[in-house]
Structure 1
Amino acid sequence: MHAIRLHAFGPAENLTYEQTVDPRPGPGEVRIKVAAAGVHVIDTYFRAGSDELPYALPELPTVPGREVAGTIDELGEGVGDEWLGRRVVAHLGMAPGGYAELAVVAVEKVHVLPDGLTAAQAVAMIGTGRTTVGILLFADLTADDLVIVTGAAGGIGSLLVQYARSVGATVVGLAGGPTKVARVAELGADVAVDYESAGWVEQVGQAVGDRRATVVFDAVAGAQGLAAVDLLGPGGRHLVYGWIGGPLQFTDAELERRGITSQQVIGKPLMDRIGGPAGMRKLEEDAMALAASGTVVPPVHPFPLADAAAAHRAIETRGTIGKVVLVP
């Protein structure tokens, strides 16, 4: 098979497209002929050998990637024949191996693809989608909410915009650059604003009038995240799931003065909320159901498998819209 291999930590160019040995499933495992493989921002940190992640770096050489969808083409010992030929999607966990034409995973981790859901869409939901569902557990959105989504053109942000609209909330989507802003408007945001332009805060204020935001879903933090927080009214919730603009933290006194709450909603807080890793499968099931029902349609940004380095560069330069997917 062909796969992307990493022989040394470093820049995106270290991802090389190679021919390697076909993997074989062991007991309780299945092999998936990959139709789409997800690329996550965390993958770029692993590739670079970053020490900023709370995870051990993989042993080298490795085939990166943790999200795959496709068709089961081989069964390991003890797996029922009914699995052969099924269209499935799986999150591989911390085991790498997704950037490849073939991937092996325990059968207990796979989900059968709902009818009408493409492999690329399923990959978008199995990881990014499950995180989105987890974030929403902290929000309790209703039609009365005025929601601000920073990074609204990203994989998670685009799903948050659609879900918030589905419950009737008013949605302000913030993104960088006219192309992304146009995409956010297409996703259904009531207000789509370029937060790299001067005067964007005033533009939001003019659009929503006297209303104050009740929820900020923040993937950016930093100065732009702070400006979004300034739009929250008393009782507002600042839910943080990213900080590409730099950390944004408030003292208890500052939160009390503003009359808001602020919390990180990924990592340990999410694990605590769902009862640990065992709760992840329920999040995956709920995410797949959201997409299958049409409540959300995950935007995908495809790259050929051989161009994995270009996919990483695009993520690192914030040049993507939706979920980045590699297609063998």
Structure 2
Amino acid sequence: MHAVRLHAFGPAENLTYERTDDPSPGPGQVRIAVAAAGVHLLDTALREGRRGPLPERPTLPTVPGREVAGVVDALGAGVDGAWLGRRVVAHLGFAPGGYAELAVTDAARLHAVPEGLGLAEAVAMIGSGRTALGVAGFAEPGPESVVVVPAAAGGIGMLLVQHARNAGATVVGLAGGGRKTALVRANGADLAVDYTRPDWAAEVRAGLGARAATLVYDGVGGEVAREAVALLGPGGRHLVFGWSAEGIGEEGRGHFVAGVSESVLGPELVRRGGGLRALEERALAEAAAGRLRPAVTRFPLAGAAAAHRALQTRGTVGKVVLEP
């Protein structure tokens, strides 16, 4: 098979597309003929040699990637034969191996992909979807809510915009540049604002009139988050689930701040969501029903390095997916 391998930590160019041995499933495992593999910001940190929230850095050489969808083409001992030939999606957990034409995982991690849901979209929901629903569980919006979503054109941000709109909230989506703000507006945001403009916060205030923000879903941090927090009214909640730019700093104090990234309060996110599998099942069901609609930026498997560069420079929208 072909796979993307990392032999040395460093820049995106260290990801090499090469031929390697086909994996075989062990007892209780299946092999998936991969049609879509998710690319996560964490993958870029691991590639650079930073372990992020994982217990340790991967052992090299490694095949990155922790989210895959495709068709089961081989079974290990003890696996129900009904899985063979089925369209499935799985989060591989801490195990790598997703950037490949074939991937092995425990059968217990499999979800059948609902009819009508694309495999790339299923990958988006197994990772970004479960996270978005877990984050929302910490502070569910309602009709009286005014929700601000930084990085609203990202994989999680787009789903949070949709979830808040489905709940009847007023939604302010922040994104960088005209192309992304147009997408955020089409995605259902009441206000879609370009945070690269120096007066963007004033634009939000003018658009909201007398209303103040009640909730900020923050996966970005940095200056954008600091200005978003300043939009909150008394009793407003600032929910932090990541900081792709940097931490919020002292400006965040005085508001509700809860880190729900896997490395900080992951167990609490899982507990509130009823467990990771329950969150994954709910995410797939929401997408199959059309209530949540993930956007996907596609790259060929051989273009993994380009995908990493685009993700790190904010040149993508929605979920980034590699397709063999």
| TM-score range relative to shorter protein | over 0.9
> What is the rounded CA distance, in whole Å, between the counterparts of 1:294 and 1:76 in structure 2?
34
Contact 1:45 1:53 (8 Å CA) reproduced: no
Residue of structure 1 in register with 2:80 after alignment = 80
Shift of 1:53: 4.3
Residue of structure 1 in register with 2:276 after alignment = 280
Asked if 1:316 is matched to 2:312, the reply is yes
Write the letter of the residue equivalent to 1:87: R
Contact 1:135 1:270 (8 Å CA) reproduced: no
Residue of structure 1 in register with 2:267 after alignment = 271
Give the secondary structure class of the aligned counterpart of 2:206.
helix
> What is the rounded CA distance, in whole Å, between the counterparts of 1:265 and 1:210 in structure 2?
31
Bigger Cα displacement from structure 2, 184-193 vs 261-270: 261-270
Write the letter of the residue equivalent to 2:216: V
Cα distance change, pair 102–217 in 1 and its aligned pair in 2 (3 A): same
Cα distance change, pair 51–30 in 1 and its aligned pair in 2 (3 A): closer
> What is the rounded CA distance, in whole Å, between the counterparts of 1:250 and 1:144 in structure 2?
28
> What is the rounded CA distance, in whole Å, between the counterparts of 1:276 and 1:104 in structure 2?
29
> What is the rounded CA distance, in whole Å, between the counterparts of 1:52 and 1:75 in structure 2?
32
Residue of structure 2 in register with 1:36 after alignment = 36
> What is the rounded CA distance, in whole Å, between the counterparts of 1:184 and 1:275 in structure 2?
30
Shift of 1:131: 0.8
Q: How many residues align?
A: 323
Residue of structure 2 in register with 1:118 after alignment = 118
Asked if 1:262 is matched to 2:257, the reply is yes
For residues 101-250 of structure 1, the aligned pairs below 5 Å read 101-250=101-250
Shift of 1:276: 9.6
Asked if 1:291 is matched to 2:287, the reply is yes
Identity %: 57
Residue of structure 1 in register with 2:3 after alignment = 3
Contact 1:178 1:194 (8 Å CA) reproduced: yes
- Unpaired runs of 5+ residues, structure 1, are none
- Unpaired runs of 5+ residues, structure 2, are none
Write the letter of the residue equivalent to 1:225: A
Shift of 1:266: 2.2
Contact 1:63 1:99 (8 Å CA) reproduced: yes
TM-score, structure 1 normalization: 0.95
Shift of 1:251: 7.9
Shift of 1:304: 0.2
Shift of 1:236: 0.7
Structure 1 outlier segments of 4+, above 4 Å? 51-54
> What is the rounded CA distance, in whole Å, between the counterparts of 2:97 and 2:273 in structure 1?
20
> What is the rounded CA distance, in whole Å, between the counterparts of 1:67 and 1:108 in structure 2?
14
> What is the rounded CA distance, in whole Å, between the counterparts of 1:31 and 1:276 in structure 2?
31
Shift of 1:274: 2.8
Give the secondary structure class of the aligned counterpart of 1:264.
coil
Q: What are the superposed Cα offsets for residues 196-226 of structure 1, whole Å, 9 maximum, x if unpaired?
A: 1021111111111000111001122111111
Cα distance change, pair 6–80 in 1 and its aligned pair in 2 (3 A): same
Q: What are the superposed Cα offsets for residues 79-107 of structure 1, whole Å, 9 maximum, x if unpaired?
A: 12111100000000111100000001110
Cα distance change, pair 39–251 in 1 and its aligned pair in 2 (3 A): closer
Contact 1:134 1:270 (8 Å CA) reproduced: no
Contact 2:226 2:251 (8 Å CA) reproduced: no
Bigger Cα displacement from structure 2, 219-228 vs 311-320: 219-228
> What is the rounded CA distance, in whole Å, between the counterparts of 2:216 and 2:82 in structure 1?
45
Residue of structure 1 in register with 2:69 after alignment = 69
Note the aligned Cα RMSD (angstroms). 1.6
> What is the rounded CA distance, in whole Å, between the counterparts of 1:223 and 1:159 in structure 2?
23
Residue of structure 2 in register with 1:307 after alignment = 303
> What is the rounded CA distance, in whole Å, between the counterparts of 2:273 and 2:8 in structure 1?
30
Q: What are the superposed Cα offsets for residues 287-322 of structure 1, whole Å, 9 maximum, x if unpaired?
A: 111111111100000000000000000111111100
